[in-house]
Amino acid sequence: MRESEKLLLAKEIMNDFAYQTGISSDREQRRYLWTDAFAVCNFLGIYRLTGDEEYRRLALNLIYKVHHVLGKHRKDDLRKGWISGLDEDEGEKHPTIGGLRIGKELPERKPGEPYDEFLEWYRDGQYYHYLTKWMHALNKASRETGDLTYNLWAIELAKKAHEAFVYEPFPNAPKRIYWKMSIDLSRPLITSMGQHDPLDGLLTYKELQATSPKDPKWPSLEGEIADIEKICEGMDWVTEDPLGVGELLSNTYKAMQLVSMGHLELKASLANLLESSKESLKALRIDQFRLPASSRLAFRELGLSIGLKAVKEMGKLACEAQDLFDDRIRQEVESILDYTPLSEKIEDFWLRNRETASWKEHEDINMVMLATSLAPSGYLRI
């Protein structure tokens, strides 16, 4: 499929998503933070590629709706208003300063309520790695519109997330990051740490800092960056989970872009990230991509597909900026280029299987991730 055809299909998918979930229609809001973060990036990417102002409007409208749905308490919650506790006017000015709900269908687990591993996947709360995705989406909006308010909201979200999620298990112990917290960020719901959460946080903080104005009055993330750099030390990034591999590849490309923007301190990490990416791709079970749709999860595979698109962009960047990326880096990138055809196979499979039960069960996130894979620049480029 030609790139122009992929872009047309991505537009069609995103237009349908906007209508079905209440962005461009009067339908009931179906807001989910991960999906909506990718959707904002997709709309902005399509706007950048086509010049069609409608997609810019859709992106900014979606940001408004996410803040007014996921930045506030649930309809079935006795608590009302902004989850930050701010009054209506101040909440409008700082909609992310209390974090953002995930958007799960069930209420969060109450204090003292027994933990149920199955039910927890369907319960609301806040996820650190969803918040970093929204920071990225807001920062994209700032860059595309020139409105630094979006960067400010992203930084306010970063500072609150870091304050709430990063903790010291016991005095003088290495810090960790909670996986999931309550809606009001007062208590952890899942204490384990996501394997790539520290890396995601570090690169996202640096991305926000690179966009922020050089104004001493503007909030800085230098302290949070120093904090999370220590958490990243000695971490093992290798994974065999398709979505995890995709996110590792996307983050490696983000690191390369940051180096090209002047964050030269990240050069020392690039070789490790590329080596971890290569080992992760080798660890993938290729036979899982031969299973029927009923045994597969589209959004996890499409996350891998998006990451594989990032590999091609890494190759271009490594060649364009030879003064920044030495032979070792270019060779590492070339060593994983052979895996990129898997992206097309994943896309083709799910384009043919959009009427299956496994697709329909997670239709919103599947639609958006497929559109991202078809037109990835909005999400991948910072």
pTM over 0.95: yes
How do the domains of the chain map onto residue ranges?
Answer: 1-69, 98-230, 236-382
Quick check: 162 pLDDT over 90? yes
**pLDDT tens digit sequence for 66-93:** 999 999 999 999 999 999 999 999 999 9
pLDDT for residue 158 = 98
Taking the C-alpha atoms of residue 79 and residue 71, their distance in angstroms, rounded to an integer, is 13
pLDDT for residue 61 = 98
**pLDDT tens digit sequence for 257-297:** 999 999 989 998 999 999 999 999 999 999 999 999 999 99
Helices (H), the chain: 3-20, 33-50, 53-69, 88-93, 117-120, 128-145, 149-165, 197-211, 222-232, 242-260, 267-283, 298-320, 327-336, 341-352, 357-361, 363-374, 377-380
